[in-house]
């Protein structure tokens, strides 16, 4: 029938999630993902007629055949609009389950296909409008720096901030996921990261209280260049967070760059860390000063003994390596209490404060 179409969602490389986040946290995250997909399908296709729904929950793959409620003349435009809305809903679901940092990198896809097309296409190229906009934003350095507090869990004392970047207010690239996705599609990821890092360094120089620190996110390629291109002279209050889950051989290649940063009295952190073998081995290779347990792990802290055991065991292993452990994405008092009981030193999340514009954050510091 010409008015039928198919919605396809899949989450690839499922096993890697277990390698990173550990059995318990990854298993719960995948159950949450399947529930979120069910809700997404019902929400996205609420005005249309679902004919067939197939779900492989083990492999996190969904295929839904549906018919448009009323066959419109602009059918292609309607399907395109559904696809765009679906991508936004999927990204929001991923961010809610895995946190913003991991959610941006989870390999999930959503496509709306006309009924006469059977195969899922490759990812669409960056639109010319987004390409032009991200190039203009970076050239003009029209980027905002926001700061989110980092506290000591035991007494919630403010110890530092994470520097985060946003696009111009009201623009289509205001959100960080869209901003960095556009930069990546335009081949400007490293440039975007280094510009954001430089602006954060310039805007915070001499403005942190004594003993406080600032964390800045960088991917591997940007981290390799940090010591040469960023304004680091006189800064001993900066922690560079490695933001990607790396193959172990790639992690080993970063060792010399990290050693050089340490020689400059700068520090490193491993961002978005799970309880699985891959991330624990990465921490053993890189020996960062801080390891941030990601929201995928932390959101399960108050869900019972299996999760508590995994978090406590991981915390002890990281502390044995000389790492300070930071719980990222703490949202509730019950999570806070469980994390204190696990012996975690540092915390970050909406419970302690949301990201604020730099001036507001520092003026209240």
CA pair distance 243, 64, nearest whole angstrom: 34
Q: Which helix or strand (DSSP H or E) is residue 106 part of?
A: none
- Residue 149 is predicted with a pLDDT of 98
CB 315, CB 347: distance < 8 Å? no
**Same structural domain, 342 and 280:** yes
Q: In the prediction, which pLDDT does 148 show?
A: 97
Question: Residue 171 — very low, low, confident or very high, per pLDDT cuts 50/70/90?
Answer: very high
Structural domain contains residue 338: yes
Q: Average pLDDT in the 147-152 region? A: 98
Rounded to an integer, the average pLDDT of 267-288 is 90
Average pLDDT over residues 260-271: 93
Domain CATH number, residue 137: 3.20.20.450
Average pLDDT over residues 79-89: 87
Does residue 78 or residue 140 have the better pLDDT? 140
* pLDDT score at 238: 97
Cα angle 165-166-171, degrees, rounded to a multiple of 5: 165
Per-state percent for the chain, helix, strand, coil, to nearest 5: 45, 20, 30
Residues 30 and 155 in one domain: no
116: pLDDT confidence band, cut at 50, 70 and 90?
low
Return mean pLDDT, the chain. 89
Q: Does residue 358 belong to any structural domain of this protein?
A: yes
- 349 in a domain, yes or no? yes
Q: Please list, in sequence order, all residues whose beta carbon lies within 8 angstroms of the beta carbon of residue 291, skipping any fewer than 6 positions away.
A: 269, 270, 273, 283, 318, 323, 324, 325, 326
Looking at the fold, whether 156 and 211 belong to one and the same domain comes out as yes
Q: Which of 58, 85, 114 is the last residue of a domain?
A: 114
Same domain as 63, residue 205: no
Is residue 110 in a domain? yes
Query: Structural domain tally of the chain?
Result: 2
Rounded to whole angstroms, what are the CA distances from 345 to 133, 152, 304, 327? 41, 6, 20, 8
| Domain final residue, candidates 79, 114, 149 | 114
Domain co-membership, 81 together with 218 = no
- Inter-residue contact 82 to 112 (CB < 8 Å): yes
Taking residues 298-324, report their average pLDDT: 91
Identify whether the C-beta of residue 180 lies closer than 8 Å to the C-beta of residue 137. no
Mean pLDDT of the 64-74 span: 79
Q: How many CB atoms lie within 10 A of CB 284?
A: 15
Q: What is the pLDDT of residue 71?
A: 64
Tell me the percentage of the chain whose pLDDT exceeds 90.
58
User: What is the structure's pLDDT at 173?
Assistant: 92
Residue 13 pLDDT > 70: yes
Higher-pLDDT residue of 269 and 11 is 269
Helix axes 14-21, 277-286, angle to 10 degrees: 50
pLDDT given at position 188: 94
Tell me the pLDDT tens digit for each residue of 202-261: 999 999 999 999 999 999 999 999 999 999 999 999 999 998 877 777 888 899 999 999
35 located within any domain: yes
Q: Which residue has the tokens 């009323």?
A: 70
**What residue numbers bound the domain in which 297 lies?**
128-363
pLDDT tens for 33-63 read: 999 999 999 999 998 999 999 988 888 889 9
Instruction: Quote the DSSP letter at residue 181.
Output: H
Residue 293's nearest CA partner among 326, 246, 316, 333 is 326
pLDDT score of 3 more than 80: no
Stated length of the chain: 365
31 falls within a domain: yes
Closest of 323, 336, 310 to residue 282, by C-alpha: 323
- Is pLDDT above 70 for 174? yes
Q: How far apart are CA 101 and CA 287, in angstroms?
A: 21
- Asked whether residue 36 falls in the same domain as residue 142, the answer is no
Mean pLDDT computed over 161-183: 92
Query: Which stretch of 179-188, 199-208, 241-250, 345-354 has the lowest confidence by average pLDDT?
Result: 241-250
Average pLDDT, integer, range 186-211: 96
Per-residue pLDDT, 134:
94
Residue 121 lies in a domain: no
pLDDT at 335: 95
Distances (CA, A) of 303 to 153, 254, 317: 19, 36, 21
Q: Clarify whether residues 188 and 301 are in a common domain.
A: yes
Identify whether residues 132 and 110 lie together within a single domain: no
Q: What are the tens digits of pLDDT across the range 124-138?
A: 555 667 788 999 999
Residues 205 and 59 in one domain: no
> Of 114, 141, 157, which closes a domain?
114
Residues 206 and 66 in one domain: no
Residue 167 lies in a domain: yes
Band of the pLDDT at 167, cuts 50, 70, 90?
A: very high
> Are residue 221 and residue 335 in the same domain, yes or no?
yes
pLDDT at residue 296 tops 80: yes
The answer to whether the CB of 327 falls within 8 A of the CB of 346 is: yes
CATH value at residue 103: 3.30.70
Using the predicted structure, report yes or no on whether residue 86 has a pLDDT greater than 60.
Answer: yes
Please tell me whether residues 41 and 148 are part of one structural domain.
no
From first CA to last CA, the distance across the chain in angstroms is 62
């Amino acid at each position: 029938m010409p008015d039928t179409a198919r919605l396809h969602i899949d989450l690839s490389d499922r096993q890697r999630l277990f390698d990173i986040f550990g059995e318990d946290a990854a298993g719960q995250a995948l159950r949450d993902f399947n529930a979120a997909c069910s809700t997404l399908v019902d929400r996205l296709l609420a005005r249309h007629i679902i004919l067939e729904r197939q779900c492989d929950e083990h492999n996190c793959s969904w295929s839904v055949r549906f018919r448009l409620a009323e066959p419109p003349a602009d059918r292609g435009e309607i399907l395109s609009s559904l696809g765009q809305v679906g991508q936004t809903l999927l990204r929001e679901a991923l961010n809610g389950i895995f946190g913003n940092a991991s959610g941006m990198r989870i390999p999930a896809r959503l496509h709306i296909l006309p009924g006469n097309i059977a195969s899922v296409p490759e990812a669409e190229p960056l639109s010319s409008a987004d390409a032009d906009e991200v190039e203009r934003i970076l050239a003009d350095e029209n980027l905002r720096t926001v700061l989110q507090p980092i506290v000591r869990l035991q007494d919630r004392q403010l110890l530092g901030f994470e520097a985060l970047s946003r696009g111009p207010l009201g623009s289509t690239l205001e959100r960080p996921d869209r901003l960095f996705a556009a930069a990546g599609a335009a081949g400007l990821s490293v440039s975007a990261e280094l510009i954001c890092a430089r602006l954060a360094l310039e805007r915070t120089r001499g403005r942190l209280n004594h003993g406080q620190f600032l964390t800045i996110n960088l991917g591997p390629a940007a981290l390799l260049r940090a010591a040469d291109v960023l304004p680091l002279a006189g800064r001993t209050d900066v922690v560079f967070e490695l933001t990607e889950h790396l193959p172990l051989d790639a992690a080993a290649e970063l060792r010399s760059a990290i050693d050089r940063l340490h020689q400059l009295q700068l520090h490193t952190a491993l961002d978005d860390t799970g309880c699985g073998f891959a991330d624990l081995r990465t921490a053993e290779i890189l020996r960062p000063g801080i390891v941030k347990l990601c929201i995928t792990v932390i959101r399960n802290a108050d869900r019972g003994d299996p999760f508590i055991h995994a978090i406590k065991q991981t915390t002890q292993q990281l502390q044995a390596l000389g790492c300070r452990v930071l719980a990222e994405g703490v949202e509730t008092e019950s999570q806070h209490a469980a994390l204190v009981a696990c012996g975690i030193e540092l915390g970050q999340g909406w419970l302690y404060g949301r990201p604020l514009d730099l001036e507001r954050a520092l003026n209240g510091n």
